[in-house]
A = this chain, B = another copy of it.
Amino acid sequence: MSKDSVQIGLLGLGTVGTGVLKVLTQNSSDIEQKVGKKIEVKKILVRDINKPRRVEVDPSLLTTEVQDILEDEDIDIVVEVMGGIEPAKDYVLEALHRGKNVVTANKDLLAEYGKELFEASAEHSSDLFFEASVAGGIPIIRPLKECLAGNRIEEVMGIINGTTNYILTKMTTEGSDFEEVLKQAQELGYAEADPTADVKGYDAARKIAILASIAFGTRVTFRDVYVEGITEISREDIEYARELGYVIKLLGIAREKDGVVEVRVHPALIPVCHPLAAVNDVFNAVFVRGDAVGEAMFYGRGAGELPTASAVVGDIIEVARDLNLGVTGRIACTCFTQKRIKPIGEVETKFYLRLKVKDQPGVLAGIASVFGNMDVSLASVIQKRREEDWAEIVLITHQVQEKNLRDALTIIRNLSTVDSVGNVIRVEGSED
């Protein structure tokens, strides 16, 4: 590879692709110094050649035929920024099988077909980089694979979906309901017309699957992740949490202990003093705990044209450096063993829960005794609103096994003194 320049084929010219083109253009001379060669975009796959673009682009670079890129022997790096599983998967696999290096921002693809992709890249000692697939512009994949490689990582916990963080932040600061803020977010372009993947937690689940795989050296796919979204969070929950010294965030959580991995996405109460509690609006942050580094956190913009392009271009520069030295494939897949994934029932956390109960003596004692029989120990019980004969109580448990809590709630729901069990939300990030 002793060409004068590194040649790129770009698959897609949407938000991220446009950003990549802008960054490569505006910083071309700095990048050339760092790499020692020019980086040139040779072809761009688009659906419609005549569509107006938000970036200046030579029309002769555009093509609607993916083979113009995959079959071009001069193209060293295929940059996939189309998103979605198909046809991106076929294109990326074909590129790898043809010995090309791949940079992708595609979390769906990585979280579901990482194994196939890494096998194809290993076969040809190609680079397969995907920093942009998690937390946009925030460096997190490479820090985990390189800077923190000396650590046994114990925990990765992150706010890794900007849409839901925006919604929860607004619900917190404005005291509004979920539906109301979702509508605002859609109007502002912070939420999609179909917000399912974000608000149900699927997007965050794909990202935590990728982070868990790297952190623990084991394959974790989207299907391994226990997922709950934020659609049931009410402004009352947020208000009660605040009174108790917590904020509610949608967290991706991955932990390893004794060779067993737990990995989940759900809303959680975290103490206001936790570093993640101050991560607001569309910002993302990933908190990492390692046996040597202790606690570290990486914060920044988790989405958007230029932040995501920052990560993609960083990856392109790394591939170019490897190409210069003929050492692509330098850091390959790090999933060395297959560790057991703990079912959610076995996971231990604290819980916040709301119950509507009869406002009469002895009711709490009955509920407490059910919890006690199931090994669920209560850290605090606070009585909130009273309405006629009913009272709402808010409980926080100590660390309990989820199965035990669920069994206890099944019994409690059937008590004649209990009208209903309201929201049950896990509590994370507090000591003891």
Contact = CB atoms under 8 A, between A and B. Distances in A.
A146 B316 CA distance: 10
A420 B222 CA distance: 65
A296 B283 CA distance: 9
Given A19-B292, A313-B292, A331-B321, A31 B150 contact: yes
B317 A137 contact: no
Nearest to A20: B150
A148 B330 CA distance: 19
A183 to B, nearest CB: 26
A325 interface: yes
Q: Count identical subunits in the complex.
A: 2
A138 interface: yes
Given A19-B292, A31-B150, A149-B314, A299 B301 contact: no
A334 B33 CA distance: 8
A204 to B, nearest CB: 19
Most chain B beta carbons < 10 A, residue from A143, A149, A309, A317: A149
Contact of A139 (B296, B299, B300, B321): B296
Interface of A: 19, 23-24, 26-27, 30-31, 33-34, 131, 137-139, 142-143, 146-152, 217, 275, 278, 290-301, 304, 306-307, 309-314, 316-318, 321, 325, 327, 330-331, 334, 336
17 contacts: A23-B292, A27-B151, A27-B152, A27-B292, A34-B149, A138-B293, A142-B146, A146-B318, A149-B313, A149-B317, A149-B318, A292-B310, A293-B300, A294-B304, A294-B307, A295-B300, A297-B299
